[in-house]
Amino acid sequence: MISLGQEVGALLRQQGLTLSLVESATGGLISHLITNVPGSSDYYQGSVTAYSNQAKISLVGVKEETIKKYGAVSPQVAEEMARGGRRVLGADVCLADTGIAGPSGATAGKPVGLFYVGLSHKTGTYSQKHNFQGDREQNKHSAAEAALSWLKEYLVGLE
């Protein structure tokens, strides 16, 4: 069975595109799934695991005002992470995530399992909202899969 990482890798290779990642709540899991594919160095630029707000601000250029206004777990932050990661890692496409893996961290209006995925490419920067119902590990895996699935759909749409 072909993995999602392999499918994404094949699409990136076919289209001559490079990929970078900025991960927060997934903690490097998406990078792991991408680099499990032999030959991923052909298209994978690298990643930043920006877990703290300070790392999001200083490493990938998320605006402090954006975090203060919307919170770290927001579509705005996911988009700024993706845009910044594309710039600092010099990639054609950047995927980013921010979320609340659990079991704690929920706030009013932001439950455990809430994740935002950001995607940035020259055509634009977008975000997707997800609500997962698992434990911490399941939520991280679900978010990584959702991010890669969306990237796959996006790349297929470019063909």
pLDDT digits (tens, 9 = 90+) for 52-66: 999 999 999 999 999
Over pLDDT 70: what percentage of the chain? 100
> Which tens digit of pLDDT belongs to each residue from 82-103?
999 999 999 999 999 999 999 9
Residue 108 pLDDT grade (very low, low, confident, very high; cuts 50, 70, 90): confident
pLDDT at 159 over 90: no
Query: Per-residue pLDDT averaged across 96-118, rounded?
Result: 96
Over pLDDT 90: what percentage of the chain? 97
Judged on CB neighbours under 10 Å (0-12, 13-18, 19+), 77 is: buried
Q: What is the CA radius of gyration of the chain?
A: 15
pLDDT at 78 over 90: yes
pLDDT at 1 over 90: no
Look at residue 116 in the predicted model and tell me its pLDDT: 98
The larger pLDDT score, comparing residue 159 to residue 37, is at 37
**SS3 labels along 89-140:** CCCCEEEEEEECCCCCCCECCECCCEEEEEEEECCEEEEEEEECCCCHHHHH
Does this model's pTM top 0.85? My answer is yes
